[in-house]
Amino acid sequence: MHYFLDQDIKFLTGVGPKRAEILNKELGIFTFRDLLYYFPYRHIDRSKFYSINELNADLPYLQIKGKIIGIETAGDKRHPRLVVFITDGTGIIELVFFKGVKYIREMLKRGMEYVVFGKPSIFNNKLNIIHPELEEAATHQKKLNTPFQPLYNTTEKMKNNFLNSKAIYKIVAGLVQSMKTTLQETLPEHLVKEYHFLSHHDAVLNIHFPSSIETLNKAQYRLKFEELFFIQISILRQRKIRHVKSVGLVFARVGDYTNNFAKNNLPFELTGAQKRVVKKLRENMRSGRQLNCLLQGDVGSGKTLVALICALIALDNNLQVCIMAPTEILANQHFSTFTKMLNGLDIRLGLLTGSTKKKVRTSLHEALLSGELQILIGTHALIEDNVQFKNLGFVVIDEQHKFGVAQRSKLWKKSEITPHVLVMTATPIPRTLQMTVYGDLDVAVINELPPGRQKIETKHYTDALRMRLFGEIRKEIEKGRQVYVVYPMIEESEKLDIKYLRDGVESFIRSFPPPQYRILEVHGKMKQDEKNEAMLDFVNHRADILISTTVIEVGVDVPNATMMVIESAERFGLSQLHQLRGRVGRGGEKSVCILMTKEDIGTVAKKRMKAMCDTNDGFVISEIDLELRGPGNIEGTMQSGVPGDLKLANLARDGQIVQYARQIASKILDEDPFLEKAENTILAQHIQNQKKEVVDWGTIS
């Protein structure tokens, strides 16, 4: 069976070299095996036949059976169309073809009974079916058939080369008919029996050609479980191996740096959530195992303070600390925050970004190597080869999804013993993604906001309410407050009907003329020095309105900014909208976020606007975002190599299967951590085969 399935797809009946090339390029199908595991995305019940007199344009795809009573060619020579009249005795309906007119006309036989499959619609004020599938009724009965016809995803290029879903269906049917042996099982026999799964062989065949709706459901469940189970057992096994084998630096003591900070410099009493997280991280860092933890917390929840306390514990143990941020603005903010909060503690900090001058860089490099520099904060510049530490012990990655895994991994290699790693995100991650994409990491959550933080009121306005918006902006400025205005693009786009920054700046200057009002702009085409200067001016209240693109999504903390206006908000994902909203409400004053959209926006965009207006809870937002967009688009997940590999399972819809798969994987690993028992050999082999295909980034978070 291995040899049979590993044959080149061009040798399969119905394919050949030309079709094989298209399948290679369009779908990545190179072998019989690839085709067999190219699963349909849905099935249509073709056990029912409709009567023509039952049809209307609101019905979905359906089938009828009838005889051809007439064939006509209409249109002109350049745009001909074929009209076929078919009856089943209850009525007559037209079948309309715009492509392949000559070929289809020659193929059809007047008086012959056909099975017609398609969707009714209205064309030329008549009910018809455009480009239906047609098959002689007698042939239809003889074929390998299932009442549930699979539909396969195809591309425009495939369709243009007559490789539509029906063609894929026929090729797969031929492949299944020519298979002589059974597909090898992928799960241990005890697992299949205990949980009453279909065999792997039966599941694969029934996902293509189910004999009943029950069998289809069982096949889908088995294959979804299998996908998610192997992700779970791989990452949980890796986690167990890391806990057993990975040697971590022992942070044995909490000393003067931490105690003096807590006594003299702590800006406010820690929340219960912050205390819980600090305790958990502290226990991990003195355990002798490497800390590899994802710290989640909503915007403004106090993650930075937790990271700072952990950094001080590292300093108390004579080790250095490195903090990497995705932008210079955020790196500068962290440096400023740390400098203020550590005032008087005799700790040397450094800042390294792309803008750092050569002379300063040289000094920083020397101080790092000597151990004199204790905390280094920076951007991607930190991963350059010439940045070397004397004894790096603790690494913090802020907004970790902004970095590629290969970039992050370079930091670990700057220490002889793997440092403790804390990756932070202000984008709360849905539970199903935590158990898959981040399943190898320990997870800590700060789910409380510090005292004084108020809920941000969120409103959805359409362009018709722009004058009301301007009135509300004026009221905020009259109170001495500041306003952010965010646009999705800098320049006008011919393809997209959305607001853009250049036009927005002109519009705001007309409505808020200088010198009474002060307006600044910040966007990606500005030089870094210009952006930094503009942001600093806004921080110091030398401007009332900052008009920007999403460069301020993760940016400076401006407590006096109390209004966020997001133009063309329908163009942003929920996660990004929530991040932008978090730029305000950072002081004690009541804040508002106004989402501006066109009058006519799509259903999904409306759901996003409603979610934003209904809740400030980032964890609720993340679950809705996953449901609306799917895992592949959630920030940072595609780089992990997990959701993109799923053929059937959907993390937004199959959360229960994820949990079930995780429970079973945990149970197996509790009894056999390294999968050494004979009954689990099949699992160890499967994981080994997967490792050849996918980079295991779990070890580097």
**Spatial separation of the C-alpha atoms in residues 530 and 58, rounded to whole Å:** 57
pLDDT of 407 = 60
Beta strand 457-462 pairing with 519-522: unpaired
pLDDT of 555 = 56
- Report the CATH fold assignment for 256-446: Rossmann fold (3.40.50)
Low-confidence winner among 123-127, 274-278, 314-318, 367-371 (lowest mean pLDDT): 123-127
pLDDT of 126 = 84
* 435-442 average pLDDT score: 65
Q: Is the pLDDT of residue 638 over 50?
A: no
Q: Is the pLDDT of residue 279 over 90?
A: yes
Q: Is the pLDDT of residue 632 over 70?
A: no
* 394-404 average pLDDT score: 73
At a CB cut-off of 8 Å and minimum separation 6, what does 674 contact?
237, 241
* 89-107 average pLDDT score: 88
Torsion of the alpha carbons at 576, 578, 581 and 582, rounded to the nearest 10: -100
Name the pLDDT band for 392 (thresholds 50, 70, 90): very high
SS (H, E, C) 649-675: CCCCCCHHHHHHHHHHHHHHHHHCCCC
Residue pLDDT, tens place only, 294-349: 888 877 788 889 999 999 999 999 999 999 988 887 888 889 889 999 998 999 99
Neighbours of 449 (CB within 10 A): 19
Could you tell me which of 303, 294, 578 has the C-alpha nearest to residue 443? 294
CA distances from 444 to 91, 274, 435, 698 (A): 66, 10, 13, 17
Low-confidence winner among 70-74, 233-237, 359-363, 555-559 (lowest mean pLDDT): 555-559
Q: Of all residues in the chain, what percent carry a pLDDT higher than 70? A: 88
Name the pLDDT band for 443 (thresholds 50, 70, 90): confident
Neighbours of 37 (CB within 10 A): 14
- Report the CATH fold assignment for 457-615: Rossmann fold (3.40.50)
pTM exceeds cut of 0.85: no
* 572-597 average pLDDT score: 88
Buried b (16+ CB within 10 A) or exposed e, 177-207: eebeeebeebbbeebbeeeebbbbbbbbbbb
Token pair of 522, please? 């910040």
* 281-290 average pLDDT score: 88
Q: Is the pLDDT of residue 642 over 60?
A: no
End-to-end CA distance of the chain: 38
Token pair of 155, please? 């591309």
Is the model more confident about 258 or about 328? Answer: 258
Torsion of the alpha carbons at 554, 559, 560 and 563, rounded to the nearest 10: 50
Highest mean pLDDT, choosing among 56-65, 80-89, 293-302? 80-89
* 587-604 average pLDDT score: 89
Q: C-alpha angle 443/445/450, rounded to 5°? A: 155
* 112-124 average pLDDT score: 88
Domain layout of the chain by residue ranges? 2-36, 48-146, 256-446, 457-615
Name the pLDDT band for 435 (thresholds 50, 70, 90): low
pLDDT of 620 = 84
pLDDT of 641 = 37
Is the model more confident about 248 or about 170? Answer: 170
Low-confidence winner among 130-144, 381-395, 435-449, 529-543 (lowest mean pLDDT): 435-449
Q: Fold identical between 48-146 and 256-446?
A: no
Contact by Cβ (8 Å): 237, 662: no
Q: Is the pLDDT of residue 270 over 70?
A: yes
Residue pLDDT, tens place only, 129-181: 998 988 888 777 666 556 788 889 998 888 888 888 889 999 999 999 889 88
pLDDT of 496 = 61
Q: Which CATH number fits domain 48-146: 2.40.10.10, 2.60.40.1930, 3.90.330.10, 2.40.50.140?
A: 2.40.50.140
Highest mean pLDDT, choosing among 34-48, 212-226, 422-436? 212-226
Beta strands in 61-191 (DSSP E): 62-75, 80-87, 92-97, 113-118, 120-123, 126-130, 133-136, 148-151
